[in-house]
Amino acid sequence: MEISELILQTMNETGRPLKSGEIAERAGIDKKVVDKALKKLKDEGKIVSPRRCFYEPKHP
């Protein structure tokens, strides 16, 4: 599974906005990798940031 897919799956399972550190801990991957993937996902419009430093999947 690709890192971005794992991050989106982790976010969907939680059902609430998460910080990058929480995503890294739940997904079992390094926080730096998560930060890089979050930037890419945000640029692609797949996630949003409802509050500073919190992320959640973009809902249609």
The pLDDT confidence band at residue 1, using thresholds 50, 70 and 90, is confident
Nearest-CA neighbor of 40 among 4, 7, 16?
A: 4
Domain residue ranges in the chain: 3-57
Check: pTM over 0.95? Answer yes or no: no
pLDDT at 60 over 90: no
46/25 Cα distance (integer angstroms): 21
Per-residue pLDDT tens over the stretch 4-50? 999 999 999 999 999 999 999 999 999 999 999 999 999 999 999 99
Top CATH class of 3-57 equals mainly alpha
